[in-house]
Amino acid sequence: MTKDKKDWKAFKSTGLRELALTAPYMHNGVFETIDDVVEFLNKGGGDDKNKSPLLAPLNLTKEEKQALKRFCLSL
Ligand code: HEM
């Protein structure tokens, strides 16, 4: 916690092991399923003023989203 405004909402990424057993997801449990998380990321994530421009929409195909989900649930 730096209390520097530029670091607002910046925090260490959570581990992804055992994701199949740890729903709901994100720090506030906002997503019930991995599909919800993948859809959120596919849209480029949330709309925060400090969000990196690197976090842009991914435009994944249905197959790519399914592959990501299967990967997440395999961990
Ligand atoms: C398509 C690629 C990605 C996938 C499939 C993915 C997957 C996930 C999943 C499943 C979670 C929820 C974990 C949980 O609640 O137990 C998560 C959270 C998180 N991911 Fe990713 N992620 C991706 C890209 C990224 C990128 C590019 C970053 C950072 C540059 C990132 C940073 C984070 C952070 C900080 C959280 C915690 C968010 C919170 O608790 O609110 N992820 N990710």
Residue with the nearest Cα to atom 18 of ligand 1? 26
Query: What's the pLDDT at 50?
Result: 84
Q: Which residue owns the Cα nearest ligand 1 atom 20?
A: 13
Q: At which residue do the structure tokens 């997801």 appear?
A: 25
User: CA-CA distance, 48 to 22, in Å (whole number)?
Assistant: 25
The residue type at 62: K
pLDDT given for residue 1 in this prediction: 67
74 Cβ partners below 8 Å, 6+ apart?
none
So where are the chain's domains? Answer: 19-46+56-75
Q: For residue 53, is the peptide bond before it cis, meaning its omega torsion is within 30 degrees of 0?
A: no
Name the stretches of the chain with pLDDT < 50: none
Residues with CB under 6 A from ligand 1: 13-14, 16, 19, 22, 25-27, 34, 37-38, 41, 68, 72
The rounded Å distance from CA 67 to ligand 1 centre is 16
